[in-house]
């Protein structure tokens, strides 16, 4: 789930995801987010390995404090997919001091068009510990709904004002078939490298 925030002026974010999806296959994902101009523009470089292997290059524009837009060029590296483009609109709302709500609306143009709508509700239980749940609706040939309850924490390291955020979630995918379950592991490292 993308949140409507970009990196600060000299801040680089490294994001690692490991997903054991609901089909028994795995998905490993590495993203590096680099600031281009402080607080407004960001370059995203993404490598994905799983059923498909992709190298993706994205640009993010922070419209205001609550919204950003992203466009990503999808480049297959294993010959199983075609080239494509992802478009994503992200909205973030601070409901009150304890609750944050994120919305992602996207369309992916590849060999087939995929539409997606996601929302998450984050409970800020503590400054460094959040409970969250995500709901994603995705449609291409089939329609699926994914419920993804989980949690994340954060730790400050003294080196270059680094923040480390591990997370764990348990996605449940609902399709025409029976419900299937998975595990999602998240790790974000955000640091002032420059």
Of the candidate ranges 18-27, 80-89, 101-110, the one whose mean pLDDT is the lowest:
18-27
CB 33 within 8 A of CB 15: yes
CATH class of 12-191: mainly beta
pTM: 0.88
Domain residues of the chain, as ranges? 12-191
Q: Tens digit of pLDDT for each residue in 126-184?
A: 999 999 999 999 887 778 899 999 999 999 988 878 999 999 999 998 876 778 888 99
| β-pairing verdict for 143-153 and 129-139 | antiparallel
Extract the runs of DSSP E, i.e. beta strands, from 50-171. Answer: 54-64, 67-76, 84-94, 99-109, 113-126, 129-139, 143-153, 155-157, 162-169
């Amino acid at each position: 789930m993308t949140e409507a925030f970009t990196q600060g002026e000299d801040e680089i974010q490294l994001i690692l995801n490991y997903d054991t999806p609901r089909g028994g296959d795995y998905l490993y994902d590495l993203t590096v987010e680099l600031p281009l101009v402080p607080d407004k523009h960001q370059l995203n470089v993404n490598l994905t390995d799983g059923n498909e292997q992709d190298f993706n290059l994205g640009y993010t524009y922070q419209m205001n404090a609550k919204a950003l837009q992203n466009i990503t060029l999808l480049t297959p590296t294993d010959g199983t997919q075609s080239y494509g483009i992802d478009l994503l609109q992200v909205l973030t709302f601070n409901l009150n001091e304890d609750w944050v709500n994120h919305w992602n609306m996207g369309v992916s143009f590849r060999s087939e068009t995929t539409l997606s709508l996601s929302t998450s509700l984050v409970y800020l239980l503590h400054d460094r510990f959040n409970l969250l749940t995500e709901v994603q609706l995705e449609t291409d040939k089939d329609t699926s709904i994914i419920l993804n309850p989980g949690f994340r924490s954060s730790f400050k390291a003294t080196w270059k004002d680094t923040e480390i955020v591990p997370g764990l979630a348990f996605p449940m995918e609902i399709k025409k078939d029976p419900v299937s379950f998975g595990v999602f592991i998240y790790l974000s490292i955000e640091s002032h490298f420059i």
